[in-house]
Chains A and B, each alone.
Chain A
């Protein structure tokens, strides 16, 4: 004959609700710990996400196709890669040549014949879409230096004035071209460079097949990543080992364990009473588990609110991935607490019941 289940549940409920301050303190402390953990995870996830975005923006998935020494690579084939699966944009630089513009006398700027496709690779935001040989596009740095704007005219030495239709910002993906004047031309003949941006998953395969795509003669074209990947890629496994949570979790775990051990310590006479009236240690643990469940449930709500507030203020993680990270972190920590709390309490109240009763 021992506790009925409902009576034991009620006991746990009343212990939690009647010790209002103790419960509030535990909820606050636990909520802060769980929330910090989640915030830490969010920060880490964000850092990775930002890195990824930055990597893409810097041309991490851009491949360069080059003609073989003494051979050629076909501009039409390069342009034709637009619209192929896994290809974001493709285009060629056909012929860069130094030119002096009357508009900026004495200063030597590069003038290059390019296809519209390459402008899209260099400046994904650039949607200037006209194709007229009487038009020119100016790199942003050159525009800054010369004061040229869309609607201005430039006059290359020995030619008539040409309308500037757009300023392209190539500083991220091809800083050199930012000081170029770019003549959009149709893709004909051999290229100097064929620029192809792939979607992230298609990059490796795309890079491997690029030479074959461009080769026309008997000499095979070459291809290489625009960014040297060995220097710029990240290794998720190594990062998992090195991440800050590696220290955060044990710290949070010790704090939570300490919290629950301390709570049990201050209740030893109370827990001793339960044991003295013959409550088996297993049932005492069950009761404490229910008490912990209530505290953890409240703390979880607090922790989620706390983590979300921090994230809103600092990172703005996309809603769904952020929610998932918070739920996953807080959830697993809460589960851990739920199992650890009753175990710790029973450890605290091991030994002589008579001694526990004397402690007040």
Chain B
């Protein structure tokens, strides 16, 4: 499945400078793409636009060359996307397994199936032993891995990860990056925002966000 941004401009306030400026880009299907750029350049904003969380001020998001319409948004979010948010959002009081199942349940998958997929994904990121802990009791790095497991378990078409290895040590970063890049299900396009050149280098493609525009093969910061 291909995803395209066409003439996307986004500004948070009418009078402020645009974060994304007349940006057009085609994200190649089934590839892993690293998005790099200085802090505040708009990487999180870009992901939010791609993932249909934020409607750009101008321009369109196209999936399989079809312009996404407002009323399809919630459904597409469930069916096609999975997230690893920079803010590691979890349901704190709930168990690790419950959190990992969430996207699948939202998609209407049966309880048993969802639980099984969640278990597998948790093992992949090395959280198998913590499956029944409450999410709020995890460390920062464990939380990030939980979010990755949750995203992997749902076998999305587009996996959007915002700084997924920000709090991990080298060894865990490698393990998690591998799980994300190589362990992702077939047919999953991975778009990962990262400051880590090591992570970016393992992706098929690196794009840099600068001055509201995307350029292929930019330097990592």
**A interface vs B, CB < 8 Å?**
1-4, 6-7, 10-11, 14-15, 18-19, 22, 269-270, 272-281, 352-354, 357-358, 360
Contacts and interface: CB of A to CB of B under 8 A. Distances in A.
A273 B79 contact: no
A273 B91 contact: yes
Contacts of A353: 53-54
A216 to B, nearest CB: 87
Interface string B37-60: 000000011001001011000000
Interface residues of B, number: 34
A279 B53 contact: no
B107 A354 contact: no
Contacts of B82: 277
Chain A interface mostly: helix
B76 interface: yes
A19 B134 CA distance: 11
B98 A14 contact: yes
A278 B77 contact: yes
B8 interface: no
B74 A278 contact: yes
Contact of B54 (A11, A19, A352): A352
B54 A279 contact: no
Contact of A1 (B48, B53, B79, B83): B79
B122 interface: no
A171 B90 CA distance: 75
Contacts of B93: 15, 18-19, 22
B216 interface: no
Contact of B106 (A269, A277, A281, A352): A277
B103 A277 contact: yes
Given A269-B87, A276-B89, A278-B74, A1 B94 contact: no
B108 A2 contact: yes
A290 B78 CA distance: 22
Contacts of B45: 354
Interface of B: 44-45, 48, 51, 53-54, 74-79, 81-83, 85, 87, 89-95, 98, 102-103, 105-108, 110-111, 134
A192 B111 CA distance: 89
B147 to A, nearest CB: 10
Central interface residue in A19, A352, A354, by most chain B CB within 10 Å: A354
Given A1-B79, A2-B78, A276 B105 contact: no
B53 A278 contact: no
A172 B102 CA distance: 73
Contacts, number: 88
Contacts of B95: 18
B83 A277 contact: yes
A281 B73 CA distance: 12
Given A14-B94, A18-B93, A277-B83, A1 B107 contact: yes
Central interface residue in B44, B81, B82, B105, by most chain A CB within 10 Å: B105
Contacts of A276: 51, 53, 77, 83, 85, 89
Contact of B87 (A2, A14, A358): A358
Given A273-B89, A278-B81, 20 more contacts: A1-B108, A3-B105, A6-B111, A7-B108, A15-B93, A269-B87, A273-B90, A273-B91, A275-B74, A276-B77, A277-B83, A277-B106, A278-B75, A278-B76, A278-B79, A279-B74, A280-B74, A352-B53, A354-B54, A357-B89
A278 B48 contact: no
A278 B106 contact: yes
Nearest to B162: A357
A165 B82 CA distance: 96
Given A3-B105, A352-B54, A354-B53, A272 B75 contact: no
B89 A1 contact: no
A358 B78 CA distance: 20
Nearest to A6: B111
Contacts of B89: 269-270, 272-273, 276, 357
Closest 8 CB pairs of A and B: A278-B78, A278-B77, A18-B93, A354-B48, A1-B108, A273-B89, A19-B93, A353-B53
Contact of A270 (B53, B75, B85, B91): B91
Contacts of A14: 94, 98
B116 to A, nearest CB: 15
11 contacts: A2-B78, A7-B111, A15-B91, A19-B93, A274-B106, A277-B103, A278-B74, A353-B54, A357-B53, A357-B87, A360-B87
B54 A4 contact: no
A270 to B, nearest CB: 6
A102 B102 CA distance: 100
B11 to A, nearest CB: 13
